[in-house]
Structure 1
Amino acid sequence: MPSETEAPANALAALPLPEVNSLSQGQVRGIACVWDGVPLRTATAVDLGERRVRWSGTRTSWFPRACRPCAERQALAAVLEHGQVCEQCTDDHTRCETGLTLVRAVREARR
């Protein structure tokens, strides 16, 4: 059974993101929220972890960021969506690595 300490260092990296090709330049550069496009400051930005994406035919690292309200909203939506299809999470999310990670993502977004 996974424990809370076994979840990834940045659980927010588990959240699904919009397609990188659909985002504005500011969203791709991390100066605007990937979900709603709100301009970000260092104090308001939430790091969503390194992502590997295909960009102009090559694989590259991307470091998306979001505003705290959007990160929390997306994390909660991911927990609910996963919980609807995961029988284990219905009983105890701590027995499911994905469920545990998504619950941690909600907590991280609220910090």
Structure 2
Amino acid sequence: MSTAVTAALDLLPLPEFHTLSQDQVRGATCVWDGVGLSSATAIDLGERKLKRVGGRVSWFPRACRRCALEQAMNTLVAHSQTCEQCVDDSNLCPTGSGLVRAVREARR
């Protein structure tokens, strides 16, 4: 996966960490709908950091393709409606282009 796609996936809003099950936190199930994942079906959403007492903690959420596609599409629509560069020429906006790649990745 390219760094642009990884950066775009970082823009996807995740559920509040404290609301997630252990399986969602460890990436065994989709972070949004809790569907079981395998290495073939999961989309890696990249490393996320949490502030905790005594420092920062990393976690690595994953999603099913359906949820990743839905979230990427929603984020792309919201971004493109407020981004001046996307209104002028969406090909020149790295965020918009990354989100388009994220949508394509989720569709595979």
Q: Mark yes or no: TM-score above 0.5.
A: yes
Which sits farther off after the overlay, 68-77 or 20-29? Answer: 20-29
1:22 to partner: Cα distance: 1.4
Other structure's SS at 2:30 match: coil
Q: Between the two proteins, what is the percent identity of the paired residues?
A: 60
2:68 aligns with 71
Q: Secondary structure at the match of 2:51?
A: strand
What SS does structure 2 have at the residue aligned with 1:49? coil
- In 1, the alpha carbon distance for the partners of 2:54 and 2:31 equals 22
Scaled by the length of structure 1, the TM-score of the pair is 0.84
Please point out which of 10, 13, 16 is paired with 1:13: 10
Aligned residue number for residue 58 of structure 1: 55
CA distance 1:99–1:51, change in 2 (3 Å): same
Q: Which runs of 4+ in 1 moved over 4 A?
A: none
AA of the residue aligned to 1:75: A
Aligned length: 106
- What TM-score do the two structures reach when normalised by structure 2? 0.86
Q: Deviations over 1:62-92 (max 9, x none)?
A: 1100000000010000000011111221232
Q: Distance in 2 between matches of 1:100 and 1:51?
A: 22
Contact 2:31–2:61 (Cα < 8 Å) also in 1: yes
Match of 2:87 among 87, 90, 93: 90
Q: Which runs of 5+ in 2 are unaligned?
A: none
Corresponding letter in the other structure for 1:33: C
- RCO higher in structure (CA 8 A, sep ≥6): 1
Q: Determine if contact 1:12/1:109 at 8 Å carries over to the other structure.
A: no
Gaps of 5+ in 1: none
